[in-house]
Structure 1
Amino acid sequence: MFQTFSTLVIAFFIGAIAIVHTQACIAQDPVEELSIDQLDNSNIRVATYNVSLYGSKAGEVAQRMADGKDKQAEKLAAVIQTVRPDILLLNEVDYDQAGTVANAFAEKFLAVPQGDRQPLDYPYVYSVPTNTGLRSGLDLDGNGKLTDPVDAWGFGMYEGQYALAVLSRYPIVTDEVRTFQKFLWRDFPNAKRPVHPTTGEPYFPDDIWEQLRLSSKNHVDVPIEVGDERIHLLASHPTPPVFDGPEDHNGCRNHDEIKFWEHYLSATDADWIVDDQGKSGGLEKDAYFVIAGDLNSDPIEGDSQKDAMQKLLAHSLVQDCKPRWLGQKDPAKTQTALFGRDRMMRIDYVIPSSQFRVVESGVFWPKQFSPDNRLVDATDHRLVWVEVAIP
C-alpha cells in the first residue's frame, strides 16, 4: 500500500530519516506507524543484513575483529543497534566450526555501545555451515583446474566465506536445526539443469550433474522458542544469477534455490526433501515461520529468472511486506541493495508467514544528509526488517 499523503510530506521535510517505515503488507489493513520507542515489547522484530564480513583468506576477518575495534564492524553494529532486531540473520559472515566471527561480532561490537546507541545482547548465536569455498574436487568450469573459487560447491576463495549466522534474543533449538547443505540439485523436482542455448547440450556433464549440490551456501530451518510459540527462521543466500554465460547456470541455480522454499512450505510430507540429518519432509503444517536472506532476485528487475521470486511472494502462506525507501528517487520503489551509482533492486527479504499480524516493516537507508549516512558504506546492502506479533 502507498504511504498517506501526510506521511510523505513529513518525510519530505525531515532532513534525515534513519529508519524507513511502511504502513502494512499486501492484503492487510493499514496499521498505525510507530516509532521504535513506542513498539510493544511483545512484538518480535526480525531482520536480515548482508554485512560483507569476509576477507581474502580464511581467518583474516577474525583477526581483524579480535580487539573489538574494526571500523567496518563498528558501523555495521551501529546500524543494527539502531534497528534493534530480536532475531537477526547475517549474510556474508565468515564461518568456522567455533563460529569465531559471528560470536566476536555479537560480543565485541553489538554488546558494546556504538556512539550514543544502546548495546544489544544476543545470547544465542548459530553459525551456519556453508558450501562456499568448500572444495568439490570437480572441474566445474571445465578449465582443467580443480582449485578455482568456482570449483567449490559454492563459489568462494576460501572455506567458510560468505556464510550465514543467526543471532537471537530468544533460545535457538540447535538440536532441531535442519540444514540442506548436501541436498543434490538433481533431486529437486523439475530441476532447471542449465544447457548450452546453441547446442542444447547440458552445461554440466552427467558425472558432474549427479554430484552437484543445490545450495550455494546452505538452506537452513532454525527453530526459535519465543515464549510458548516456536518460530522457524528459514534462511538462505542463493547464488547471484550473473557471472556466467548464455547457459545461465547461475540463474538456473538461483531459481531453484529460491523455489526450494516454495516446496518446503507446501510439501509437508515430501519424501524427496531430505535434510543433512536424514529427516524427510517439509515444514510442518501451521508452523510460524519467517523466510529471510539475500535471495539475489528482484521480482521485477535484474537478471534473475523472476518467476521463482514472484511465486514465493505470492504463496498463500506468506505475507509480502514491501519496505519503502523514501529517498530522492521513486518513493513507491522497493529497494534493499545498491549496484553502482543508480541501480537499486530488492534482493534482501524478510517474509513472514500469514498467521502473524504485521505491525510494520522497513529498510535502514538514511537520506543523503543524515548523520547516519556515514554508516551505509560498510556494505553494499541495507538492513531489512519486519515487526510482527503473534495473534
Structure 2
Amino acid sequence: MLRDLGRDDPQIDAVAAIVAQIAPDILLLTDVDYDRGGVALRALADRLGFEHSFALLPNSGMATGFDLDGNQRLGEARDAHGFGMFSGDSGMGLLSRWPIDDSGVRDLSDLLWRDVPGATLPKGAPWTDDIAAIQRLSTTGHWIVPVLAPGGVIDVMAFSATPPVFDGPEDRNGLRNRDELRLWTQVMDGTFGPVPRTFIIAGNANLDPDDGDGLRAAMQSFLNDARLTDPQPRSAGGAAAADSDQTGDPARDTADWPEGEPGNLRVDYVLPAAAWTVTDSGVYWPAPDDPDAALAEAAGPHRLVWVDLRR
C-alpha cells in the first residue's frame, strides 16, 4: 500500500475520490495491513485528508502454533487467531479530523473466546480443549477508541468479524461470528466497564439480517436493541443490483459480490447509540447510470457506509 500510494493506483484513487465526496469526520477502514510504525496508515491518512490515525496489531495473521483447521499443517493463514498470511495482515485503521485519545483506548482483542459470558464454542474436530485455551474471540480486533470531537468525546467501537463460512459441520466460524457481535451487547451491558453514552459501533460484521450464511437471527436481535439506532442507510445502486433470490431490502446492501457467491449483502454497519440524533445516512453505491458508478466498482466490493449525527 505504501508503494502504491506513491504512484497512480485505480483502487486508491477511487477510495480517495469517494472519501472526498462524502467528507467524513471519522472514517474506519477494514482490511488494511498493519505496520508497527504506522507509516503506511499515516501516508494513507495524509492522502485522504485526515490529520489523526490509529491502529493496533490485529489478531488476523497472529500465529497460534496450533493446527486450527485440522489439515495436519502448521503456520498457514487459517492457523492464525484470525485468517491472515502474516502478522498484521488485514487489520483496521481509524482516521479522524479530530484528535484521538490513544491513552484512553480500551482493547478487547486479547479476550479468549471461551471467557466471553454465554459463549457458544464449537464441538467436534478440529476443535479441541487445547485450542479453546488459546483462541481469541476477535478475528481482527474489538476496540473502543475515544475521539476528542468539539462537542465532547465520541467512543468508536470498531471491529471486523470473521465470515461465517469456510469451516465444517462444527460451524466454528458461524458461532464465532455471532459471538463477535454479542461482545458489543455485553459492552453495552457494562460487562467490560463503564458504558459511554455517545458511542458509535462501526465495522464489518460479515452478517446480514436477512440473507446469506451465518446466524442471521443474531443480527436481527442486535439491530432491534433499544440502546442502538439503525439508520438503515440505502443506495440506488444496491436497489438496482438485487439478487434473484434476495429476501432483504437490496437498497440496504453494502457489499457487491457475485450472485450466490455469496451475493449482495448488508454486512457493514455504522450504528450510533440511541442518544444520538441521525440527520442523514447512506451507502455510497451510485445507480448504474450515475457517472460515479465506476468509482464504487474500482474501490472494491464493500461500499462506504456513512451516517450524519448530532447530539
TM-based fold match above 0.5 = yes
Name the structure 1 match of 2:111: 183
**Alpha-carbon deviation of 1:68?**
4.5
Instruction: Name the structure 2 match of 1:328.
Output: 240
**Contact between 1:232 and 1:288, CA under 8 Å: does it hold in 2?**
yes
Letter in 2 for 1:339: W
Q: Distance in 1 between matches of 2:249 and 2:118?
A: 35
Post-superposition CA distance 1:39-94 (Å, at most 9, x none): xxxxxxxxxxxxxxxxxxxxxx22232x1432211111111111111000001111
| Residue 204 (structure 2) aligned to one of 279, 288, 294 | 294
1:225-236 to structure 2, matched below 5 A, reads: 225-236=148-159
- State the Cα deviation string for residues 325-384 of structure 1 (Å, max 9, x = none): 224256953111111047211100000111111101000001112221121222101000
Q: 1:261–1:312: 8 Å Cα contact kept in structure 2?
A: no
How far did 1:307 drift? 2.4
Question: Which residue is equivalent to 1:237?
Answer: 160
**Unaligned segments of structure 1, at least 5 residues:** 1-60, 111-120, 196-200, 271-280
Give 1:347's match in structure 2, choosing from 267, 281, 284. Answer: 267
Q: What are the within-5 Å matches in structure 2 for residues 141-290 of structure 1?
A: 141-195=69-123, 201=124, 203-266=126-189, 268=190, 270=191, 281-282=192-193, 284-285=194-195, 287-290=197-200
Question: Deviation at 1:122?
Answer: 1.1
| Distance in 2 separating the partners of 1:319 and 1:296 | 19
1:182-213 superposed Cα distances (whole Å, 9 cap, x missing partner): 11001011211112xxxxx3641111111110
- Counterpart residue type for residue 293 of structure 2: N
Find the residue that maps to 2:307 and give its secondary structure: strand
Q: Which residue of 1 is the match for residue 245 of structure 2?
A: none
Are 2:29 and 1:62 equivalent residues in the alignment? no
Q: Is the 8 A contact 1:203 1:249 kept in 2?
A: no
Correspondence for 1:317? 227
The percentage of counterpart residues that share the same residue type is: 39
Distance across 2 between alignment mates of 1:236 and 1:376? 22
Report how far residue 264 of structure 1 moved: 0.5
Q: Deviations over 1:167-194 (max 9, x none)?
A: 0011110111111221100101121111
Regions of 4+ moved over 6 Å: none
The C-alpha deviation readout for 1:232-281, integer Å capped at 9, x for no partner, is 00000000001111211110110100110011011x2x3xxxxxxxxxx2
CA distance in 2, matches of 1:192, 1:346: 24
Aligned equivalents of 1:215 and 1:367: distance in 2? 35
Letter in 2 for 1:287: R
- For normalisation by structure 2, the TM-score amounts to 0.92
- Opposite residue 271 of structure 2, the aligned amino acid is I
Task: Report the TM-score, using the length of structure 1 for normalisation.
Answer: 0.74
1:19 — aligned with what?
none
**Counterparts of 1:102 and 1:205, CA distance in 2:** 37
Give the aligned CA root-mean-square deviation in angstroms.
1.7
